[in-house]
């Protein structure tokens, strides 16, 4: 009987000690406030590139610089993709602005109903107009542009700390949509290997993928239809989103 009571007492004491030690450890372990911030950058990361076979970890954005560095080493050169010229030294050419001088900035509303009208049927949530521009050459609006901005999630760091995928968190950026009359040619900084031929609503397209298709770096979708080149340039959005935006502009 007495042995049993002693055993119970010992067990209870052990439990109390364990609980106390656990909470002392927890309090001492909490060296910083719980407000989340990004983890410290690993040494040498700024110049690192991915190891062979390494895949990006969407919960550790501090390591993604390796894929950005790798991309910067890829060659850029002018090429023709699906009949559309792209590359770092490609010159925009053709259209009324070459012959009907000078170009004049006009109210953006004047581009409505013209060949270069921009009325996107799809935009990511939170997109707000940052700027608009329309240029008239002669009697024709020959160039139009709209730039949208996207918000960064206020709780980005907290969501990352909870293990949420970086690709699912709003990370801001801009969406630039340009349409102009001319030949299918536009300058771009996107690496040559990231371009591929495609089709948007049945029209020939050159699709410049972001560094990671999930949404790291710029993507560009160029579509040529009816003598008008449409350029959709996105930052840190997925390639699927960039294509969806372009599909909603070219009709």
Q: Does 18 bind another protein (CB under 8 A)?
A: yes
Q: Under rule CB under 8 A, which residues in 92-151 are in contact with another protein? A: 92-93, 95, 97-98, 102-105, 130-133, 135, 137, 142-143, 145, 147, 149-150
Q: Does 176 bind another protein (CB under 8 A)?
A: yes
Beta carbon of residue 148, minimum distance to another protein (angstroms, whole number): 11
The single residue listed with the structure tokens 């700027």 is: 131
In the chain the first and final C-alpha atoms are separated, in Å, by: 89
Q: Does 180 bind another protein (CB under 8 A)?
A: yes
Binding pattern to another protein, positions 42-81, x when CB under 8 A? ----x--------------xx-xx--xx-xx---x-----
Contact 220, 194 (CB under 8 A): no
Beta carbon of residue 127, minimum distance to another protein (angstroms, whole number): 13
Please identify, among the stretches 117-125, 152-160, 195-203, 240-248, the one whose residues bind another protein according to the rule CB under 8 A.
152-160
CA dist 149 and 144 (Å) reads 17
* 29: CB partners within 8 A, 6+ apart: none
CA dist 221 and 175 (Å) reads 11
Beta carbon of residue 80, minimum distance to another protein (angstroms, whole number): 18
Q: Under rule CB under 8 A, which residues in 192-221 are in contact with another protein? A: 215-218
Beta carbon of residue 186, minimum distance to another protein (angstroms, whole number): 7
Single out the residue of 2, 3, 5, 31 in contact with another protein (rule: CB under 8 A): 31
CA 152 to chain CA centroid, Å, is 12
The CA-based diameter of the chain, rounded to the nearest angstrom, is: 108
Q: Does 19 bind another protein (CB under 8 A)?
A: yes
CA dist 193 and 87 (Å) reads 11
Q: Strands 195-200, 203-208: parallel, antiparallel or unpaired by DSSP? A: antiparallel
């Amino acid at each position: 009987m007495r042995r049993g009571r002693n055993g119970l007492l010992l067990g209870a004491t052990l439990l109390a000690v364990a609980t106390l030690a656990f909470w002392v450890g927890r309090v001492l372990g909490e060296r910083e406030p719980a407000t989340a911030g990004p983890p410290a950058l690993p040494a040498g990361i700024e110049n690192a590139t991915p190891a062979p076979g390494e895949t990006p970890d969407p919960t550790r954005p501090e390591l993604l610089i390796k894929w950005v560095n790798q991309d910067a080493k890829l060659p850029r050169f002018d090429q023709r993709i699906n009949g559309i010229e792209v590359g770092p030294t490609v010159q925009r050419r053709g259209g009324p602005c070459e012959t009907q001088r000078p170009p004049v900035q006009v109210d953006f509303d004047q581009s409505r109903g013209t060949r270069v009208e921009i009325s996107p049927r799809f935009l990511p949530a939170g997109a707000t107009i940052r700027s608009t521009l329309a240029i008239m050459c002669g009697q024709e609006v020959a160039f139009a542009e709209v730039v949208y901005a996207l918000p960064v999630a206020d709780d980005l760091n907290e969501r990352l700390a909870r293990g949420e995928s970086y690709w699912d968190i709003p990370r801001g950026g801009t969406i630039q949509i340009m349409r102009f009359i001319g030949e299918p040619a536009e300058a771009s900084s996107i690496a040559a290997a990231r371009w591929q031929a495609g089709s948007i609503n049945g029209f020939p397209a050159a699709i410049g993928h972001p560094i990671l298709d999930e949404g790291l770096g710029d993507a560009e979708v160029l579509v040529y239809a009816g003598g008008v080149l449409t350029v959709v340039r996105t930052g840190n959005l997925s390639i699927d989103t960039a294509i969806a935006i372009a599909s909603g502009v070219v009709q």
